[in-house]
Structure 1
Amino acid sequence: MYIGLMSGTSVDSIDAVLVEFNEEGKSSSPHILTTLSHPIAPPLREDILALCTPGPAELDRAGQLDRQLGQVFADAANTLLSHAGVKSSDVTAIGSHGQTVRHRPPGTVTSPFSLQLGDPNSIAALTGITTVADFRRRDIALGGHGAPLIPAFHHAVFATDHNRAVINIGGMGNITELAADGSVNGYDTGPGNVLLDYWIGLHQGAPYDRDGAWAASGQVHSELFKRLMADPYFAAKPPKSTGREAFNASWLEQACSGLEVSPVDVQATLAEVTAASIADAVRQFADSGDVLVCGGGAKNKDLLSRLRRRLPDWSVSPTDNHGIDADWVEAVGFAWLARQTLLGLPGNCPSVTGAQKESVLGAIYPA
């Protein structure tokens, strides 16, 4: 058994899963035993989001948050085991992605890096379980973006004999292209839920737009949509990855400058940008096939409706219909990556990240 821990760009909770894999080299059928959405306390969330923006005393704040998050991730794992009635000694390892607070991929700085907090030493010490973490930096050391990392897992569990795109809509959106010939490609498509969550929180005090109902009640503002979609990231060629550093409140406010747009219409326009950027990526991949959607956006009925309108020749459905609940795909993916590491098997896809070669990812922190 393995545990996967994942906290994404939205910083809304820690996804924790207890999962079993088959005993063969390639895990094509993970079996989820127990899941848990572990809350991140509002003050801690505010500290995380504050650190995502450059500011004073960053080193001290990062060091303290690293320890705090390590303790919270450990709490999530221990609570998960308690709910499952499973002893820590029965778990082979924890795969922890950590919380990304800064992502500077190739092309944005002289020495690219990606920083995730959530001290794996604390996780191993407080759970008594070997922990595998720091998955991105080996790929970056090999010239890659270190993201997205889950396409290798998508290939292991979702590949089929026809064209298939797997879309994760978390804070950011990303696509995994599983071609009928067995090749794998992928990249971050742009903003997913991050600005939708920010905007509804600002104007309605809600953590997210349930079912996309608020966005669905508005109208897309054509000029704002045009300005947002003109961002050079959307036209850039892969490999590429992104985050809050590029798509944030300032980016949105700059695009809105000089326009009279009601808040609800801004929300509708943001939803259309998410759908359009994803649909553009899918169409560039192939003319038809099926689209599997996971992440929080898979529960957003309005987003799925917008995707279906833009992809009439594709079958669009959540990954729930293909064996893994959409809410837990990424967390299972990091349990799988921990397993790959312990087996000495590659965890990255150079065709996705741009790394020079396949590599075992992550560092191992013994119990």
Structure 2
Amino acid sequence: MNKTVQIKRAIGLMSGTSMDGIDLAMLETDGDIIVRRGASSFAAYDAAFRKRLEAALETARSIRARGERPGDLAELETELTDRHAEAVEEFLAREGLSTPDVDVIGFHGQTVLHRPLEALTVQLGDGERLAARLGIDVVHDLRARDMTLGGQGAPLVPAYHRALAAGLGDEWAEEMPVVFVNIGGISNITYIGCDGELRAFDSGPGNTLIDQWVQRHAGIPYDSAGAIASEGRVLSGLANRYLSSPFFTAKHRVSLDRNDFTLPDDSEAGLEDGARTLAFVTAAAIAKAQAHLAEKPKLWILTGGGRHNRMIVEDLTVATRHTGRVILAEEAGLNGDSMEAEAWAWLAVRSVAGLPLTYPGTTGVSEPATGGVLARAQKRAAG
């Protein structure tokens, strides 16, 4: 007997590898095919907190077990959790909602270490503390179980991409296969074949190298719209060095840690040429992903902050011009900024329902696997 479909209101919280702040998004969903997208928001981290998160990446290198919190990581985890709670409280107030109006929160936390070959992934974020403070059930730690079953622990958004693809308008119905490209700190793709085949993997560096480069050389957190890169030229030798990495030639795809690719030496490029070359590398790495797909995509849907970098978009458009069409998520009626946060809301509902979050074609897990830890909260009364 089929279970009665239960529609839940969920909030997704995402703090990605760019470490610039918290994306929030609300959905009404059954965790499957019903997706009603709602409001979204962004809570920026201040520069001092970003520096602490960046320092945490170095501290986390010594972690050998998921529960370890060396140095100041325990204190940082508490503060990060409280910042997420404050962001949710402000979001609810802005939307005229209270905690009883929300069924569950999907809490990603901040990844500080991801070593798939060691089945080790660490996200700072205390789900129990968040649930207790907000009075809302919280699903957290969604990557770990996948790893215990032989998966990479990432990416987790592809199943949500497939749900979105199923709801695309008639204009895009014939544009299959379709690929969703999330250009965050790390870029990853989701391929949805004509037969519904789902395949996903990290394609290479996204914004992280560009952000670090302009921060080092210009003292700004990112290259807005690719303005700096547009003043430079592609240094082919430097680009080829990145693109000849064993990551791109390996037969099997692996998920990446923010530190897997490092910045060029300062002697290798100036500000503009470095930004331009790194933008080219991001686009070329995405285009290289086609070698691991059953068919060439007809449609590329760009999401994440990197879609605002026009040099990345132009380079990818050129690289795929003979086989597909590149569009921004908004052209398909989607929200490219909030999509990952939306996914975490959807995954939280899916986790509570015991449905699969990951698949052999997305993370390499041995079989379709659910996951996540549910932190129950004492529900608060309205008002």
Q: Does 1:173 align with 2:187?
A: yes
* One-letter identity of the residue aligned with 2:214: I
**Structure 1 stretch 232-241 or stretch 339-348: which is displaced more?**
232-241
Instruction: Supply the distance in 2 between the matched residues of 1:317 and 1:30 (Cα, whole angstroms).
Output: 22
User: What's the counterpart of residue 35 of structure 2?
Assistant: 29
User: What's the counterpart of residue 108 of structure 2?
Assistant: 97
2:164 to 136, 144, 157: 157
User: What's the counterpart of residue 320 of structure 1?
Assistant: 330
User: What's the counterpart of residue 367 of structure 2?
Assistant: 357
Instruction: Supply the distance in 2 between the matched residues of 1:62 and 1:27 (Cα, whole angstroms).
Output: 38
Q: Does 1:46 align with 2:54?
A: no
- Post-superposition offset of 1:200: 1.0
- Post-superposition offset of 1:49: 0.8
* One-letter identity of the residue aligned with 1:87: S
Matches within 5 A, 1:1-367: 1-21=9-29, 23=30, 26-32=32-38, 34-54=39-59, 59-106=70-117, 111-159=118-166, 162-249=176-263, 252-253=264-265, 260-282=268-290, 284-285=292-293, 286-312=295-321, 313-367=323-377
- Post-superposition offset of 1:26: 2.1
Instruction: Supply the distance in 2 between the matched residues of 1:207 and 1:303 (Cα, whole angstroms).
Output: 17
User: Which TM-score applies when normalising by structure 1?
Assistant: 0.92
Contact map agreement 2:205 2:282 (CA 8 A) in 1: yes
CA deviations 1:23-77 (Å, max 9, x no partner) are 5x62343322x22111223222211111112468961422111111111111111
Instruction: Supply the distance in 1 between the matched residues of 2:305 and 2:33 (Cα, whole angstroms).
Output: 24
Contact map agreement 2:27 2:35 (CA 8 A) in 1: no
Instruction: Supply the distance in 1 between the matched residues of 2:275 and 2:13 (Cα, whole angstroms).
Output: 30
Following TM superposition, the consecutive aligned residue runs of length 4 or more in structure 1 with deviations greater than 3 angstroms are 54-58
Is the alpha carbon distance of 1:360 and 1:288 closer, same or farther for their aligned partners in structure 2, counting shifts above 3 Å?
Answer: closer
* One-letter identity of the residue aligned with 1:134: D
Instruction: Supply the distance in 1 between the matched residues of 2:343 and 2:89 (Cα, whole angstroms).
Output: 19
User: Which TM-score applies when normalising by structure 2?
Assistant: 0.88
* One-letter identity of the residue aligned with 2:47: P
Contact map agreement 1:28 1:157 (CA 8 A) in 2: no
User: What's the counterpart of residue 170 of structure 2?
Assistant: none
**Structure 1 stretch 56-65 or stretch 238-247: which is displaced more?**
56-65
* One-letter identity of the residue aligned with 1:116: Q
Instruction: Supply the distance in 2 between the matched residues of 1:86 and 1:260 (Cα, whole angstroms).
Output: 52
Contact map agreement 1:74 1:122 (CA 8 A) in 2: no
Q: How many residues align?
A: 354
Is the alpha carbon distance of 1:288 and 1:11 closer, same or farther for their aligned partners in structure 2, counting shifts above 3 Å?
Answer: closer
- Match of 1:52, SS? helix
Question: Which ranges in structure 2 are unaligned for 5 or more consecutive residues?
Answer: 1-8, 64-68, 167-172, 378-383
Question: Which ranges in structure 1 are unaligned for 5 or more consecutive residues?
Answer: none
Contact map agreement 1:187 1:238 (CA 8 A) in 2: no
Instruction: Supply the distance in 2 between the matched residues of 1:228 and 1:336 (Cα, whole angstroms).
Output: 35
Is the alpha carbon distance of 1:138 and 1:284 closer, same or farther for their aligned partners in structure 2, counting shifts above 3 Å?
Answer: closer
- Match of 1:361, SS? coil
- Match of 1:82, SS? helix
- Post-superposition offset of 1:238: 3.1
- Match of 1:291, SS? strand
Contact map agreement 1:102 1:114 (CA 8 A) in 2: yes
- Match of 1:331, SS? helix
* One-letter identity of the residue aligned with 1:31: R
* One-letter identity of the residue aligned with 1:354: G
Instruction: Supply the distance in 2 between the matched residues of 1:56 and 1:64 (Cα, whole angstroms).
Output: 17
Instruction: Supply the distance in 2 between the matched residues of 1:31 and 1:120 (Cα, whole angstroms).
Output: 24
Instruction: Supply the distance in 1 between the matched residues of 2:75 and 2:205 (Cα, whole angstroms).
Output: 28
Instruction: Supply the distance in 2 between the matched residues of 1:134 and 1:287 (Cα, whole angstroms).
Output: 34
- Post-superposition offset of 1:83: 0.7
